Structure 1
């Protein structure tokens, strides 16, 4: 729980999500600054694979606000912060012709979402 500029913020985070942080950021940029209901509706109809974990995370942030701080979901006025940081990268090798091997990088990311309400 953070109090800045009369805005009460509640956080939820997901770690080691098997998706590229660049792909997650393009979705988070769309919902940042929107109201909770509007963000949920946008995530439900976006065609990206990472929308489902972000949808769950936003629901979790709202539940945290409701359970830990006694706020109502309908009172959550906006998604104040949403960002994705890089996690560890899994490195794999793909066998190729004539005994060669090509590297494959499987990135992970850590997502944090803050929902807030005016005090």
Structure 2
């Protein structure tokens, strides 16, 4: 499942096709079913080139209980476990725009943020906090 998570659909199918794991065949069937469901779903254009595997996981399924003969007239229980495979296929948006980076203002005393922007963030210009240390109070700037 980790092999195909986040990959394009075509690449995921070829990865599963040549994977040397027995479960790869079953995951490929579920992936093909998810692609077919995306084609039938309302609102989906059905363009396979824009589809990617947005999520996939395996949950525990029902357990089949069988009996194996044991010595002295006893019986041992064999648990044949199964799994629920889930593959989620999503279309990528047509255009992916870049998010502009926030502009950093340089003040005269070497601080990277201006007093106005610090006031908007709720900090005073004279104190800074230490990140990653819980319980640390304000540290005076030099």
Give TM-score scaled by structure 1 length: 0.69
Question: Deviation at 1:59?
Answer: 0.9
Q: For the Cα contact (< 8 Å) 1:65–1:72, is it kept in 2? A: no
Which segment drifts farther, 92-101 or 80-89?
A: 92-101
Q: Partner of 2:49: helix, strand, or coil?
A: helix
Question: Deviation at 1:53?
Answer: 1.6
Is 2:52 aligned against 1:71? no
Q: Partner of 2:14: helix, strand, or coil?
A: helix
**1:36 match:** 9
**2:130 match:** none
Q: Partner of 2:10: helix, strand, or coil?
A: helix
Tell me the alpha carbon deviations over residues 13-43 of structure 1, each in whole angstroms, 9 at most, x when there is no partner: xxxxxxxxxxxxxxx1111111111110111
Give TM-score scaled by structure 2 length: 0.59
Partner Cα separation in structure 2 for residue 44 and residue 81 of structure 1: 19
Partner Cα separation in structure 1 for residue 5 and residue 23 of structure 2: 15
1:2-17 aligned at under 5 Å gives the runs none
**1:104 match:** 78
Structure with the higher fraction of residues in helix conformation = 1
Structure of greater relative contact order (alpha carbons < 8 Å, 6+ residues apart): 1
Count of paired positions = 91
Tell me how large the CA RMSD over aligned residues is: 1.3
**2:56 match:** 82
Partner Cα separation in structure 1 for residue 24 and residue 74 of structure 2: 37
Partner Cα separation in structure 2 for residue 67 and residue 87 of structure 1: 27
Structure with the higher fraction of residues in strand conformation = 1
Partner Cα separation in structure 1 for residue 74 and residue 12 of structure 2: 46
Is 2:32 aligned against 1:59? yes
